[in-house]
């Protein structure tokens, strides 16, 4: 692996154990609106969309009378308590951040979730001040299917894409980062493990936890 001059972290499924919350909230929101038997793959479809795209999908697919803004606001309300009170960091996050700090490597977050929720969970976990930036869909509305959010992060890190490591759990995000020239590693999450073979094929590595990422970065910095 090339010399690492910066790191871009995904949030949900990578730094925090939150993906099952989003699976539940999809169904909870739809049930509130009279959709009691949504398609089995609804969460798989939604996770690849921006917040706005997901709201529009719910409205058109299920014939809801809500506006996009109402859908976005209600889903945020449903998950807020989880981010403010319950969702934990994934194992080894603190050790990984400390390693990067000790080597003077800057890092930030590029997330598809609501900025307010990202800030809430990071603040509760006591690490929000450690990140140089938090970029969210509100900053880059096209989401992670387009490289803009990663390129914006690279600019803030002061390095070229080929000098930056993107740490993600989702295949489509890794595909975007790879196409833009970033180094990438995939990290296991229960809900994205179905894409493991494809992630292993295109990423620079795929690991069962952040502990192995720490080892990889340590060796790359020797």
Distance of CA 64 to the CA centre of its chain: 27
pLDDT of residue 107: 98
Assigned domain for 145 exists: yes
Assigned domain for 49 exists: yes
pLDDT of residue 142: 87
Tell me the pLDDT band of 6, cut-offs 50, 70 and 90.
Answer: very high
pLDDT at 185 exceeding the cut of 70? yes
Domain co-membership, 113 together with 173: yes
Domain co-membership, 36 together with 65: yes
Residue length, the chain? Answer: 222
Chain segment 31-57, per-residue pLDDT in tens: 999 999 999 888 878 877 888 899 999
Residue-number span of the structural domain to which 26 is assigned: 19-85
Q: Which of 11-15, 45-49, 89-93 has the lowest mean pLDDT?
A: 45-49
Tell me the pLDDT band of 169, cut-offs 50, 70 and 90.
Answer: very high
Phi, psi dihedrals of residue 117, rounded to the nearest 5° = -75, -40
Domain co-membership, 109 together with 165: yes
pLDDT at 1 exceeding the cut of 80? no
pLDDT of residue 197: 96
Domain co-membership, 54 together with 116: no
CATH no. for residue 92?
Answer: 3.40.50.1000
Quote the number of domains for the chain. Answer: 2
Q: Which of 9-18, 41-50, 151-160, 213-222 has the lowest mean pLDDT?
A: 41-50
Chain segment 98-138, per-residue pLDDT in tens: 999 999 999 999 999 999 999 999 999 999 999 999 999 88
Structural domain ending residue among the three candidates 85, 107, 140:
85
Structural domain ending residue among the three candidates 85, 105, 135:
85
Q: Which residue has the higher pLDDT, 184 or 49?
A: 184
Q: Which residue has the higher pLDDT, 17 or 44?
A: 17
pLDDT of residue 23: 80
Structural domain ending residue among the three candidates 62, 85, 108:
85
- Characterise 187 by phi-psi region: left (phi > 0), alpha (psi -120 to 50), beta (else): beta
Assigned domain for 1 exists: no
Domain co-membership, 127 together with 210: yes
Domain co-membership, 201 together with 114: yes
Phi, psi dihedrals of residue 157, rounded to the nearest 5° = -85, -10
Domain co-membership, 77 together with 161: no
Assigned domain for 60 exists: yes
Domain co-membership, 97 together with 57: no
Domain co-membership, 79 together with 93: no
> In the predicted model, what is the mean pLDDT of residues 69-74?
93
The β-bridge relationship of strands 107-110 and 6-9 is parallel
Helix (H/G/I), strand (E/B), else coil: 134: strand
Domain co-membership, 139 together with 178: yes
pLDDT of residue 111: 96
Tell me the pLDDT band of 222, cut-offs 50, 70 and 90.
Answer: low
What distance in Å separates the CA atoms of residue 189 and residue 191, rounded to the nearest whole number?
A: 6
Distance of CA 206 to the CA centre of its chain: 16
């Amino acid at each position: 692996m090339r010399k690492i001059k910066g790191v871009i972290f995904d949030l949900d499924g990578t730094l925090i154990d939150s993906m099952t919350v989003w699976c539940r909230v999809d169904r909870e929101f739809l049930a509130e609106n009279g959709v009691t038997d949504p398609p089995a793959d609804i969460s798989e479809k939604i996770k690849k969309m921006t917040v706005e795209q997901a709201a529009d999908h719910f409205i058109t697919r299920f014939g809801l009378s809500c506006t996009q803004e109402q859908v976005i606001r209600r889903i945020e309300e449903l998950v807020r308590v989880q981010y403010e009170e319950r969702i934990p960091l994934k194992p080894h996050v603190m050790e990984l951040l400390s390693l990067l700090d000790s080597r003077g490597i800057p890092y930030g977050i590029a997330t598809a979730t609501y900025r307010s929720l990202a800030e809430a969970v990071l603040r509760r976990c006591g690490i929000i001040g450690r990140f140089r930036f938090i970029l969210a869909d509100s900053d880059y509305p096209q989401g992670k299917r387009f490289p803009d959010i990663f390129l914006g992060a690279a600019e803030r890190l002061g390095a070229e894409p080929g000098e930056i490591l993107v740490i993600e759990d989702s295949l489509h995000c890794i595909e975007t980062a790879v196409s833009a020239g970033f180094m990438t590693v995939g990290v296991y999450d229960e809900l994205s493990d179905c894409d493991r073979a494809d992630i292993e094929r295109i990423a620079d590595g795929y690991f069962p936890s952040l502990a192995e990422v720490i080892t990889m970065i340590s060796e790359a910095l020797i």
